[in-house]
Amino acid sequence: MLKNISPGTFYPGNSLMHRLQARTKLVVIAWLVITLLIANHRQWHFVPYIVALVLVVSSVLLSRVSLRDFGKRLWFLILIVFSSLLLSIFGSTGDSPVIWQLGPWASSYAILSHNLFITGSICLFLYATSWLPPLRSWCQQKFWLRLMRNLLLLLIVASLFFFWLTTGFSSTHQLKLGPLVVTQQGAWLVIIIFMVFLVLYSFSTILTMTTSPIALIEGLTLLLSPLRYLKLPIDDFALMILLALRFIPTLLDEADQLMKAQAARGADMMHGTLRERFQSLTIFFVPLVQGTLRRASELATALEARGYHDEGQRTRLYEKNLSRIDYYVLCIVICSTSMALFV
């Protein structure tokens, strides 16, 4: 699971995306942010998003990165899909036309509580059965069985909360549920949120997978160099980002080794009661934080021993003058996205 976290992971190669300067990639991402922000104001205009999606697919193919490795890093978008679906129902305001409506349902408290009691009893029976052998061992081995058991527990808690909330209601009390309304504004909100996260997250993943951390920081420093006239600490800011990107894989490897070491000693963070899992996580995070602070102290000592200071002109190792291919890529991206806004 820890290997699927992408920031800071660089895959060496000689593809077109690897040969591009880091400044070019950063400018492309910044330009796409501006383009998508402008495109959001024109409802049901899909051309900019289609062009951005084509650029994402093209960059993935040109980077020659394994599609399997790249796909593993897109699991985060599943959370975006579910959250955007909630926004489609509760995030629409104004007089936007309704395209789908579910409900409202009018029912008495007696009927609703009776049906909910039967449902909660069935869920409680299934949840209790899941802790009996051999279902208990099956749930420990299968992720989807553990997920179903947690959903049953959630339904039981929701039923108890409903009965507590409606305490004192008469049996003839009318309860109205809904309506759940999806408007054009809410549906458009789902589309733009998902597409923006898909495009920007994919491009940032390609950026970190095809650009070494040092080259990325050099490009960022060059782009932010005009801020030096405002007396801003650009070099210190670049150093912090470089250290963060450089040590993310190291800290993930250390966390993985710590989990394996604790598992070898009998610790189990994936099974057991909620209290046992919390205790296991506490035992895990305390040495992890201690190791992180120890590495930070050692790094500070090493910088001081080598006489590091943030004054003077920095030399560049990776970032050179923009080549012809960098200008070609910038022209293609800027022209295609600009034309998409006005089509």
- Those residues with Cβ within 8 angstroms of residue 268's Cβ, 6 or more apart along the chain or in another chain: 276, 280
CB contact at 8 A, 284 and 258? yes
CA distance 195 to 43: 14
What is the predicted pLDDT for the residue at 1? Answer: 47
What is the predicted pLDDT for the residue at 179? Answer: 67
What is the predicted pLDDT for the residue at 150? Answer: 82
What is the predicted pLDDT for the residue at 102? Answer: 65
Q: What are 105's two structure tokens?
A: 């349902």
Nearest-10 crossing angle of helices 22-39, 213-223: 60
Between CA 190 and CA 200, with CA 195 as vertex, the angle to 5 degrees is 135
What is the predicted pLDDT for the residue at 339? Answer: 93
Residue 1, strand partner residues = none
* Amino acid making up residue 255: A
Other CB atoms within 10 Å distance of the CB of residue 253: 12
Share of the chain above pLDDT 70, in %: 79
What is the predicted pLDDT for the residue at 310? Answer: 62
What is the predicted pLDDT for the residue at 90? Answer: 54
- Those residues with Cβ within 8 angstroms of residue 297's Cβ, 6 or more apart along the chain or in another chain: none
Other CB atoms within 10 Å distance of the CB of residue 86: 11
Residue 98: enclosing H or E segment and its boundaries? strand 98-102
| pLDDT tens across the length of the chain (343 residues) | 444 444 557 788 888 899 999 999 999 999 999 999 898 888 888 899 999 999 999 998 998 888 777 777 776 666 666 666 665 555 555 566 766 666 666 777 778 788 888 888 898 888 888 888 777 777 777 777 777 888 888 888 888 888 777 776 766 767 766 666 667 777 787 788 888 888 888 888 888 888 888 888 888 888 888 888 888 888 778 778 777 777 777 787 788 788 788 777 776 666 666 666 677 777 778 888 888 888 888 888 887 887 776 666 666 767 788 889 999 999 999 999 999 998 7
What is the predicted pLDDT for the residue at 329? Answer: 93
Smallest Cα–Cα separation from 37: which of 343, 334, 336, 341?
Answer: 341
What is the predicted pLDDT for the residue at 312? Answer: 60
CB contact at 8 A, 22 and 323? no
- Those residues with Cβ within 8 angstroms of residue 83's Cβ, 6 or more apart along the chain or in another chain: 193
* Amino acid making up residue 122: I
Q: What is the DSSP string of 181-241?
A: EEEHHHHHHHHHHHHHHHHHHHHHHHHHHHS-HHHHHHHHHHHTGGGGGGT--HHHHHHHH
Smallest Cα–Cα separation from 254: which of 207, 294, 214, 299?
Answer: 294
CA distance 148 to 331: 51
Task: Using DSSP bridges, classify how beta strands 98-102 and 180-183 pair: parallel, antiparallel or unpaired.
Answer: antiparallel
State the pTM of this model.
Answer: 0.67
For the CA atoms of 260, 261, 266, 269, what is the dihedral angle to 10 degrees? -50
What is the predicted pLDDT for the residue at 88? Answer: 55
Between CA 23 and CA 35, with CA 29 as vertex, the angle to 5 degrees is 135
